[in-house]
Amino acid sequence: MSFQNLSCEVTDGVATVTVNRPEKLNALDARTIGELGACFGELAAAPAARVVVLTGAGPKAFVAGADISELAALSAADAHALARRGQALMDAIEHLGKPVIAAVNGFALGGGCELALACSFRWASDTAKLGLPETGLGLIPGYGGTQRLPRLVGSGRALEMILRGNMVTAPEALAMGLVNRVLPAAELMPAVATLAREIAARSTLTLRCALDAVEGGLGTDIAAGFRQEAGLFAVAAASEDGREGCRAFLEKRPAKFTDR
């Protein structure tokens, strides 16, 4: 995969996608949004990519928001179209069918924070800062931030961040559940790579069932979620990998998954 504003490398079942505009703090301009959409579309269909790590180039930023120069003169119709395009990208990442880990290595602001929110979960460096500063520009988050953040951290914390437009530090983000783990900056990418390889060693069928159970359950009532979970548990249990995993445990040996 060759892109102007991204790099994508697949090794040992792990695809590492890096937004590569460090001179612009990896801001999400129209080209970058389009390239991310194309990249994740290819990764969805790539058997070699079992887990995806998403990060930003350089020591300062994961993705520091949208490109403000592109927002300054939008008409209402253009703004609506831009928001829907950004939402479609975040939805494609959230529903990729494969785990996507955000390695938040610096500023994750505006669209960058929304990009991290679309991932399965987030590990951050101790220098990272996250926020949705759009109200300071006379705007609101438009790429799903008003929907995903309250679902993740609760409406009160989400509204405080959105209405104030303030940044939170990595330890603050950890305390509110916005990120899962905080590590020293130099340790972040090696730790995330180890984690991604660990997850990639599992059955992709099992990972897909687990993702579908959680994502599907969040969109419905708990009783319907239980029914969906039971159905997906049945799929996993009856699969070759489900049987192999149980046999391997009983025989005290590593499982050999075939993704079937």
The DSSP line for 113-144 is HHHHHTSSEEEEETT-EEE--GGGGT----SS
242 plus 173 within the same structural domain: no
Look at residue 231 in the predicted model and tell me its pLDDT: 94
Cα–Cα distance for residue pair 52/180, rounded to 1 Å: 16
54 plus 138 within the same structural domain: yes
Task: Kindly name the residue from 134, 160, 172, 215 that is annotated as catalytic.
Answer: 134
101 plus 74 within the same structural domain: yes
Chain-centre distance for alpha carbon 197 = 16
Look at residue 70 in the predicted model and tell me its pLDDT: 76
Assess if residue 78 is contained within a domain: yes
Give 127-130's long-range contacts (Cβ < 8 A, gap of 24+): 127/170, 127/185, 128/62, 128/104, 128/169, 128/170, 128/173, 128/179, 128/182, 129/167, 129/168, 129/169, 129/170, 130/104, 130/167, 130/168, 130/170, 130/173, 130/178, 130/179
Mean pLDDT by 10 residues, the chain (260 residues): 91 97 92 96 96 96 84 86 95 97 97 97 98 94 96 96 96 98 98 97 94 91 94 93 90 90
Cα–Cα distance for residue pair 206/203, rounded to 1 Å: 5
Looking up residue 42, the CATH number of its domain turns out to be 3.90.226.10
210 plus 126 within the same structural domain: no
152 plus 218 within the same structural domain: no
77 plus 44 within the same structural domain: yes
Q: Could you confirm whether 160 is annotated as catalytic?
A: no
Assess if residue 144 is contained within a domain: yes
Assess if residue 260 is contained within a domain: no
86 plus 139 within the same structural domain: yes
127 plus 244 within the same structural domain: no
Look at residue 66 in the predicted model and tell me its pLDDT: 77
Assess if residue 191 is contained within a domain: yes
Assess if residue 182 is contained within a domain: yes
63 plus 152 within the same structural domain: yes
Look at residue 174 in the predicted model and tell me its pLDDT: 98
Assess if residue 98 is contained within a domain: yes
- Boundaries of domain holding 172: 6-200
Look at residue 2 in the predicted model and tell me its pLDDT: 79
96 plus 225 within the same structural domain: no
Q: Could you confirm whether 187 is annotated as catalytic?
A: no
Task: Kindly name the residue from 9, 70, 94, 114 that is annotated as catalytic.
Answer: 114
Total domains present in the chain: 2
Asked if residue 124 lies in contact with residue 104, where contact means CB atoms within 8 angstroms, the answer is yes
Look at residue 222 in the predicted model and tell me its pLDDT: 93
Assess if residue 174 is contained within a domain: yes
33 plus 59 within the same structural domain: yes
Assess if residue 40 is contained within a domain: yes
43 plus 156 within the same structural domain: yes
